[in-house]
Every structure is written in structure tokens, then in C-alpha cells.
Amino acid sequence: MKRKILFSLIGGVILFVWMFLSWAMPNFHKSASSYTPLQGEILQKFNDLKLHEGMYMLGQADPAATKDEQCKQYKELDGKSWAVVNYHKTMSSDMVMPMIRGFLVDIVISFLLFWIFLQQKEPTLMNRIYVSLAVGMIGFFFLPYTSFIWYKQPDIFAYFADGIIPWLILGFIGHKMAKPVSTTDNSKLAL
């Protein structure tokens, strides 16, 4: 059990530090949060329109319209500009709780990865690295990439790096920490 907890904590720190690097410094995801000097005017317009807080896909047909009307609207929208807006009425610069929640999630993710490592009967270093990389790539393909197919987020390559680099590190460290225990030494059987 000590190794599970230790790897979970070490893995949590690795994932947390990687995400800090990825999103804060040097900020590989900066293309997904570009600045516009028009932000004040845009946000004021949202406030003037009394837009409800939420995420909007701008450039789609009215869902209340009939199927024929929607087809006509989509033809009119084809080739025109579109946007995805994630609108919030108030901004909070409090980072404490989001960082704590993120770190706790990173610990849980690391625990689950270590559990997968322990399920392998005769693992090799490369096998564990491949398993860890597979977990990272499953995460990348499931959400960021399938979303990119439709919404073209500009930071897709940063998400790709997020799905590879920390997972390679976790695979290497996990292999060192999840060595199979010799069955002849009963004192080491308990994890």
C-alpha cells in the first residue's frame, strides 16, 4: 500500500507540474486564450444583451425551427463566420480551490495508473511505458482531439504534448516503483 500511495503522490506532483508548465509557463496553450483589444466592447455587448451564463455555439440553426427551416438556415450560414463562446458573468482570480481540486484529481489519476501497472503479470520497462502512453493517448483522443475535429481549438498540439510527455515520465517511474514482488519473500507480499 505504501508504494501505491507514494506513486500516487509522486505522479500527482508530476502531472500537476506538467499542467502548470503547459498552461502557465511557458504556456503551450496560449493560442487558445488569445487577447483582443476589443474584449471590453465584446463583453459589454454580452452584458447589454443580458446573455445568460453558459457556453454558446454561434453560427448554428435555431433548434426551435422546423427541419426545413433549419436546413435553409444552415445553407445561409455555410461559409460565414462562427464562434464558440464560454460566457461567465463574473470573473474570479481565486486559484486556490481549482489548484487543490486539480492536484487531488492528479493523485487519483496516478493511483489508477499504478493500479493498472500492478495488473500486469510480467511487465517490462517498455511495456509499462507503452501502457502509460496508451492512457495518455486515450485521454487525448477521447476529449481534446474529438473536440478539435469539430471546433478547431488552436492548442491541439499542446494537448498532444499533454498526452505524451508526463505519461512517459509516469511509465518510467511507475516501472521502478511497481516491480513485481518475489513470491519467495513473504515479508514483501503486501503492497
Q: Residues 7, 177: contact at Cβ < 8 Å?
A: yes
- Could you give the CA distance from residue 119 to residue 110 in angstroms, rounded to a whole number? 14
Q: Which residues contact 59 (CB under 8 A, 6 or more apart)?
A: 77, 80, 81, 82, 83
Within a domain: 7: yes
Within a domain: 9: yes
Residue 82, pLDDT > 90, answer yes
Within a domain: 73: no
In degrees, rounded to 5, the angle at the alpha carbon of residue 169 between the alpha carbons of residues 166 and 170 is 85
Higher pLDDT, 185 or 33: 33
What's the domain range around 166? Answer: 2-29+94-188
Q: What is the pLDDT of residue 159?
A: 97
Within a domain: 179: yes
Within a domain: 69: no
Q: Mean pLDDT in the chain?
A: 91
When pLDDT is cut at 50, 70 and 90, the band that residue 182 belongs to is: low
Within a domain: 16: yes
Q: What is the pLDDT of residue 185?
A: 47
Residue 188, pLDDT > 80, answer no
Within a domain: 136: yes
Q: What is the pLDDT of residue 155?
A: 95
Residue 190, pLDDT > 50, answer no
Query: Which amino acid does the sequence have at 168?
Result: L
Number of domains present in the structure of the chain? 1
Within a domain: 78: no
Encode pLDDT of 83-123 as tens digits: 999 999 998 889 999 999 999 999 999 999 999 999 998 89
- Could you give the CA distance from residue 159 to residue 29 in angstroms, rounded to a whole number? 8
